[in-house]
Structure 1
Amino acid sequence: MDKFVFLFLTTVLAFSTVLSSELTDLQDDLDSLPHVRVRRTITDKDLGGFIKICKQNPVDLAFVIDASSSIWRRNFTIGLKFVQSMVRMYDISPDMVRIAVTTFGAGVYQRASFSFSRFDTQEDVSDFIGSIYYYAGSRTDTGDAIEHMRKKQMVEARKKVPHIAIVLTDGNSQRKYHTRDMAKRARESNITMIAIGVGYYVKDEELMNIAGNKTRVFRVDNYEQLETIKEGLTYQTCYKKPKPTTPAPNAEPCGVKRPSDIMFVMDQVALGQNGVGWATQFMSHTVDQEEMAKGMKMGLLSGVCPFDSGFPLRKFSAAVSLKETLHEFGSPKRLSQLVAQLPASEDYRKGARKVGVIFLGGKMDTKALLDEVEEAAASKVKLFFANTGVVSQDLLDQLSLKGTVLEGHGSRQQAVELTSSLCPSDD
């Protein structure tokens, strides 16, 4: 479907909804970011086929800091000073390096955490880190902290810059499998995970579960030794580029390499005017993504004929028949009936991925929906679920077993997450 025709149809579908300013697309013009400012004390490294370049390019860097009781206040303060010393190595500004911090122990300490948009200067970032309170938590909920970093902070991260998280801990989390799973999800979201273990109590398994690769694991005997790993750690936040003698490959657009046929699915009656407006903006943001320019086709399932077309005056002579038909207009099974059409669509191209994006919200028959989702997944349809309103966590958990639940806070963030999943940066 032509991009402009698609946008027109989805706009009409929104019942002329006036979209709120908080959902306005604030697309960053990252091409204009400066690339020449340098703040470094280490030299470039030759890594064979690549040269590690340690210039100040834009990066969104999150620190995840353990504040559990095993650390003791003195060591916690040393750890904060280490983080401050790392921050001073970067050019902190909205268009260069941005910093976020999550502090955890018995859960996440919100008052001792901040996201990328909070501070714009190196001084402000360093001052806040230096003032972080030591909570001496009774637990080590590392998994919760990583999940908070991914869901609450990295949603603010810029699309075209590296996303890096550094976890500083001296112990093992009580729920090691939760930590492993949350770190894996973070890495799958294109977040480079780095683990720093202090002391002998934290196990190698814990650090590997976080980092996913031994090259991103750092160990020191005590907090005083943190400064000894700063240079090596700084290299992890640099970027690699091919040697000048290595010709750069000609990158094909994502849609050329991996074409996708994307069907959006929504029940307009259940979503209501606000929900349809939200879904329309999601689709518009998706179409606007650069990766969608070539090789991607999009369609929309939004009606269960013949009910959506209404009925003429002479259609029914009995009240019972009329009431039975009217009941279909508000049926919670409508969404599941739409999902049932996904595998059978005749419009899919040969060799293209079959993708279904299902908008959740309003009144739904969850059992019928789960049954049809099961069928669609079995038919090799790659499923995504966009939450337009209040949907129970239990339903989201069940749907996540058959597809990807988009977790951004707004239509634009969820659209970006969809695009990133279909076109990963390392594809």
Structure 2
Amino acid sequence: MDKSVLFVLVTFLAYSAAPAFGTRHAEHTLNARLQSRFRRGIPDKDLGDVIKICSQNPVDLAFVVDASRSIGRRNFTIGLGFVQDMVRMYDIAPDMVRIAVTTFGYGVYEGASFSFSRYKTQPEVLEAIAQLYYYEGGRTDTGDAIAYMEKKQMVEARPEVPHVAIVLTDGTSQRRYFTRDMAKRARDSGIKMFAVGVGRWVKEEELINIAGDPSRVFRVTNYEELKTIKEELAYQTCYEKPKPTPPPKAEPCGSKHPSDIYFVMDQVALGQDGVGWTTQFMSHTVDQEQMGEGMQFGLISGICPFDSGFSLDTYSQSLSLKKRIRQNGSPKRLAQLVGQLLTSAFSESQGHRPDSRKVGVIFLGGKMDTRALLDEMKAAAINGVKLFFANTGNVSQDVLDKLSLMGTVLEGQSTREQSAIFTNLLCPPQN
């Protein structure tokens, strides 16, 4: 039970004890503050159906430390070291974790105790603990110490954060029923109690009476073994959070709106640079996630068998399609190629599906018969082909304006930009 204990107790109290204070708003505010600070301690643990959450949260934490004669000065010092190790796990600050300490033996040693408001930083708390005097008391007045902690120290505790106390002792108190009653009163006031018993002389009944629940009782053979209960205490006191139900997976665009998409290009007019540009555009487009299920692609690029492109149902896999796109052959005039959208391209023999949208992506650039092209574009639009125009460069604004009356001119300078715009227009992102 070394450095993880303090961190874990904070977590346990923040999530299991906080509802007792009825402060949902305050808990939300404190959790928001926590996000701006670094976190210490053990990581969350995935247990299948639930996740063990072990993150630090604001808390007022009181240590009640046995300083009776049976402990001895050496073990008392080791016990204080254990408390210091726990404190080092915390973000000590007025709005985060605050520490109070009470020592006891023959009654309560107020001169070797301090309250929550006394020290405000981790170095101050660590130094104060190191300076606590060992009084070597002749009794074990555990009940008096618990009552002092509850009446004198917890009155300074913040109402909006969990309150927790850890009692460290090596023996059974002289007035065990008084100890039982004082611990119950502390728990009833909203303090989560933990009991750590060291050695064989402290009775199990006493520890349970202090903690109120066997799951919050921890035992070790001697002070040197305090660190051995680290993992047990840590993961026992983390709270369990059910795993969130993942949101339903968005239905692919092609399932709702299947589309048959033809790329149309005149390779002679475009030239080597233009063909390279269109090839990149097509590759970027078929790579888009939205362009998977339900989408078919075809290419119209010539009239001879070796350069005529390919029909909609030729390629079913993206990799094969991209490989074919990179093998474009020689050309035909663009207006004539667009004309194929009206005659043969969108036919069942070429793989067109009657329930799919007809989409044409026309690559503009190089030398074009503008008048003939506009006529073919108008006819395609009238016949239900949804037209998109990808400008490879050097197309006049006048031509683009006229084409925009028949379809969508894709904005952007690069192939990647225009491809992304085309994809989002065809398959708008789901909110």
Q: TM-score when scaled to structure 2?
A: 0.48
* TM-score normalised by length of structure 1: 0.49
Report which of the two structures shows the higher radius of gyration computed on alpha carbons: 2
